Amino acid sequence: MLWAPLKGIGLARAGNAGRRRLAQLQENDKAVLIYSTYPSQELAESIGAELVDARLAACVNVMAGMTSIYRWQGARHRDSEVVMIIKTRARLAERVIAAVRDRHPYENPALIVLPAEGGSQDFIAWIMDQTGATGGG
């Protein structure tokens, strides 16, 4: 086994360090869902298509017919909105959020990253594959 210096640690086995780095990468690159809302079906579909085309998302689900009741700038509001769930990987989440913010008309759009704990390993592998090459950076 080769020995290699690790920053701040001194010498350590390169094989163990490599496994630790791989484990950390895998931990930081799990599948995630990003919940977001939009004022119209058309806008949600347009932004969703751009995310999929850029390989920032494997898939988006656009669901119309939601009513949101919320407080904004001191007043209670009730609006029809569209929900989009974006299926991506953790290391792309900030890029997805930035891309959505660039096109979103809301001053403070709902964008919440939710961990995908468990599930179909085949489906999770598909998400990772679809967001790997170009979008994966």
For residues 106 and 38, give the distance between their C-alpha atoms in angstroms, rounded to a whole number.
8
Sequential pLDDT tens for the chain (137 residues): 343 444 444 444 445 655 554 455 566 689 999 999 999 999 999 999 999 999 999 999 999 999 999 999 999 999 999 999 999 999 999 999 999 999 999 999 999 999 999 899 999 999 999 998 655 45
Does the pTM exceed 0.85? no
| Exposure string over 103-121, b if 16+ CB within 10 A, otherwise e | ebeeeeebbeeeebeeeee
- Residue 127's nearest CA partner among 26, 32, 23 is 32
Which domains, from first to last, does the chain contain? 30-136 (3.30.70.120)
3-state secondary structure 39-108: CCHHHHHHHHHHHHHCCCCCEEEEEEEEEEEEEECCEEEEEEEEEEEEEEEHHHHHHHHHHHHHHCCCCC
Distance of alpha carbon 109 from alpha carbon 118, whole angstroms: 28
User: How far is C-alpha 72 from the geometric centre of its chain's CA atoms?
Assistant: 26
Question: Which residues are bridge partners to 76 per DSSP?
Answer: 71
